[in-house]
Structure 1
Amino acid sequence: MPTHPFFQVNVFSTDPLLGNPLAVVLDAEDLDEARMAAFARWTNLSETTFISAPRDPRADYRVRIFTTLGELPFAGHPTLGSCHAWLARGGVAKGAEIVQECGIGLVRIRRSDTGLAFDAPPLRRDGALAPDLRARVLAGLGVAMDDVLDAQWVDNGPPWLAVRLRSRAAVLAVRPDYAALEGLMLGVFAACREGDAVDAQFETRAFIAGEAAPEDPVTGSLNAGIARWLLRDGEAPARYVISQGTVLGRAGRVVVERDGDALWIGGTCVTCIEGSVRI
């Protein structure tokens, strides 16, 4: 049975136990899709990634991203965690930035003062939810109508939709009915107020109904989609910090920074486990 370099990485927190874990398998050229999917189910993490040589000559490496349910064309914390593992194993970028090849194409990654940051992909779908879907989402979340400010698509690979609530307290109080939300990937978020006593400007939660762990601790792709919404509408500064994972006992921090036409989503990555795995 082949042996592969293996990392387990904590993403979006300086504390190795308070972010979002990611399993990374390197030198994965010999693994087929079925084996990757089986290993991702076995790890039982929100995502497991597999790094191999790029097919596009502009890229530094190729990554495939699997949840316990199937493959994603893109995801945020797997992008940063995979890049961290690739660099830790001696990867050297062809240029000033690292270029990742994945299901949505090429993604730029840069080193930042918070660790690593990816250039958020454009939204594939945005705008208001259809009335019947909006009603289903709000009922499944169990939120009071007075607490809901808006709901929109923020699909940037994963088919996220997001609900903006009136307060951080309303976000933390959500208790989803996952059966009612089956098949949906959705986030809730709100701006933080001075009295919230948190070192962030927004609080986010992410729910993936049907996953083994249906609440994701810290989510780069969702926050990237929300950032495009907020910045488009002038509802956020050019640089801000998001808190996520509070209800789960985590302390995730996602840094959003608009730089010209680029929207960078960053955070800290920490290696927790390094070794090899037989698949």
Structure 2
Amino acid sequence: MDVPFAWVDVFTTTPLAGNPLALVPDADALDAATMAAIARELNQSETTFLVRPDDPGADHRLRSFTPGGVEVFGAGHNAMGAWVWLALSGRLDPARDTFVQQIGPDLLTVRVSRRAAQGAEVSMEQSAPRFLGEVTDRPALAAALGLDTGALAARPAEVASTGAEHLLVPVRDGAGLDAAQPDTAHLRALLADVGAEGCYVYTLAVDPASGLDAAARFFNPTVGIAEDPATGTAAGPLAAVLVRDGIVRDPAAVVVEQGRRLGRPSRIRLAVDGPRVTIAGTGVVAAEGVLHL
């Protein structure tokens, strides 16, 4: 069969920036093994497949796989890119701006606005935040990230989730953030020990004039991602933690920068209102193709 796919750059308004997503629409004929093989072939941090929902309350169901063939959940760039493509390809009812997506067992609200000059803008709810405990072994954290212990900030590292469990590790400044060079085996073992999927290293030492609340990098050797340029499933729990601790200036407008070290700077916009975490961003379709299977 011939299987069309698209390349969507997420958290950007221009191609070749932000976080690239491979998207396969109309994927009902593909089984999970084939989806995993396609994700390995396309070799992006995630490849998302659009399939018919099995819950009558959903408009679309999304399944996402990493290059390692692992299916992952949570609403991040994997989901945002899918809705950007749906909007720009004319697949959405123009009389509506609110939809429901099914990701795993979760039904999550999505709002889409279409802006012809700048692609599409999507905002979507994530799962309610869960704070799963602090990680206090600072020497182990530093060693896993290739850092000196002194590069870590005084704030504790912790595992949190808004749909996917990630370890959030604060460092003192941008120099420490740039210096992080994880030991893959060590970090994978540490993440398994603390019950986390990926590691979000972040700093609060950002220029107040930049409009940022934090800058971050994401590493996920658990599912075969060396480094990801924009990770909504990690930015969500970070925003929830910063609001919980009273650190952010405006809980309705939390901004995290990611991807600068990879040459793909991305700004992830979030809002936190009690148990409700919303992530927003733009995206553009950068390429299209066909797989011949």
| Fold-level similarity (TM above 0.5) | yes
Q: Supply the AA of the counterpart residue of 1:176.
A: P
Q: 1 CA distance for matches of 2:223 and 2:275?
A: 34
- Aligned-residue CA RMSD (Å): 2.3
TM-fit CA distance, 1:56 = 1.0
Which residue number corresponds to residue 204 of structure 2?
191
Which residue number corresponds to residue 34 of structure 1?
33
User: Does the 8 Å contact 2:240/2:272 carry over to 1?
Assistant: no
Q: Supply the AA of the counterpart residue of 1:77.
A: H
Q: Does 1:246 align with 2:238?
A: no
Distance 1:194 1:124, change over 3 A: closer
Q: 2 CA distance for matches of 1:33 and 1:193?
A: 42
Structure 1 segment 45-60 matched on structure 2, within 5 A: 45-60=44-59
Distance 1:262 1:123, change over 3 A: closer
Q: 2 CA distance for matches of 1:16 and 1:213?
A: 22
Q: Supply the AA of the counterpart residue of 1:191.
A: L
Distance 1:82 1:142, change over 3 A: same
Q: Supply the AA of the counterpart residue of 1:145.
A: T
SS at 2:288 equivalent? strand
Structure 1 segment 217-256 matched on structure 2, within 5 A: 217-236=229-248, 237-238=250-251, 239-256=253-270
More moved, 119-128 vs 48-57 = 119-128
User: Does the 8 Å contact 1:107/1:119 carry over to 2?
Assistant: yes
SS at 2:35 equivalent? helix
Q: 1 CA distance for matches of 2:149 and 2:274?
A: 37
Which residue number corresponds to residue 209 of structure 1?
221
Which residue number corresponds to residue 264 of structure 1?
278
SS at 1:27 equivalent? coil
Identity %: 36
More moved, 267-276 vs 120-129 = 120-129
Which residue number corresponds to residue 170 of structure 1?
176
Distance 1:89 1:80, change over 3 A: same
Q: 2 CA distance for matches of 1:213 and 1:263?
A: 24
TM-fit CA distance, 1:27 = 0.8
Q: What TM-score do the two structures reach when normalised by structure 2?
A: 0.85
SS at 1:179 equivalent? helix
TM-fit CA distance, 1:30 = 0.7
User: Does the 8 Å contact 1:72/1:157 carry over to 2?
Assistant: no
SS at 2:257 equivalent? strand
Q: 2 CA distance for matches of 1:60 and 1:275?
A: 25
Q: 1 CA distance for matches of 2:217 and 2:210?
A: 15
Structure 1 segment 48-197 matched on structure 2, within 5 A: 48-69=47-68, 70-92=70-92, 96-111=97-112, 115-129=121-135, 131=136, 135-146=139-150, 147-148=152-153, 149-182=155-188, 184=191, 185-194=198-207
Q: Deviations over 1:182-222 (max 9, x none)?
A: 25310111114337x74522101000125554011111000
SS at 2:187 equivalent? coil
| Count of residue pairs the alignment pairs up | 275
More moved, 21-30 vs 227-236 = 227-236
Q: 2 CA distance for matches of 1:192 and 1:230?
A: 13
Q: 1 CA distance for matches of 2:164 and 2:101?
A: 17
SS at 2:79 equivalent? helix
Q: Deviations over 1:56-82 (max 9, x none)?
A: 111111110100121012240001001
User: Does the 8 Å contact 2:111/2:124 carry over to 1?
Assistant: yes
TM-fit CA distance, 1:155 = 2.9
Structure 1 segment 3-42 matched on structure 2, within 5 A: 3-42=2-41
User: Does the 8 Å contact 1:192/1:200 carry over to 2?
Assistant: no
**Contiguous gaps of at least 5 residues in structure 2:** 192-197
